[in-house]
Amino acid sequence: MAALTASSNAQKTTLLKQHKEKHFTAGEVVRDIIIGVSDGLTVPFALAAGLSGANASSSIILTAGIAEVAAGAISMGLGGYLAAKSEADHYAKELKREQDEIIAVPDIEAAEVEEILAEYGIEPHEYAPVVNALRRKPQAWLDFMMKFELGLEKPEPRRALQSAVTIAIAYIIGGIVPLLPYILIPVAKKALLASVVLTLIALLIFGYAKGHFTGSKPIKSAFQTALIGALASAAAFGMAKLVQG
Q: Check whether 165 has a pLDDT greater than 90.
A: yes
Contacts for 244 with CB less than 8 Å, ≥ 6 apart:
53, 54, 55
CB 70 within 8 A of CB 131: no
**Helix intervals (H) in 105-158:** 106-119, 124-135, 138-144
Q: What is the DSSP string of 85-101?
A: HHHHHHHHHHHHHHHHH
Contacts for 190 with CB less than 8 Å, ≥ 6 apart:
none
Whole-angstrom distance, CA of residue 9 vs CA of residue 170: 46
Whether the full predicted model's pTM is greater than 0.85, yes or no, is no
Whole-angstrom distance, CA of residue 69 vs CA of residue 37: 11
- Three-state secondary structure call for residue 218: helix
Look at 13-27, 159-173, 181-195 and tell me which has the smallest mean pLDDT.
Answer: 13-27
Looking at residue 171, its pLDDT comes to: 94
Looking at residue 25, its pLDDT comes to: 42
Looking at residue 31, its pLDDT comes to: 85
**Cα 175 from chain centre:** 19
3-state helix, strand, coil in the chain (%, to 5): 85, 0, 15
Whole-angstrom distance, CA of residue 88 vs CA of residue 161: 12
Looking at residue 131, its pLDDT comes to: 84
Looking at residue 236, its pLDDT comes to: 67
Looking at residue 172, its pLDDT comes to: 94
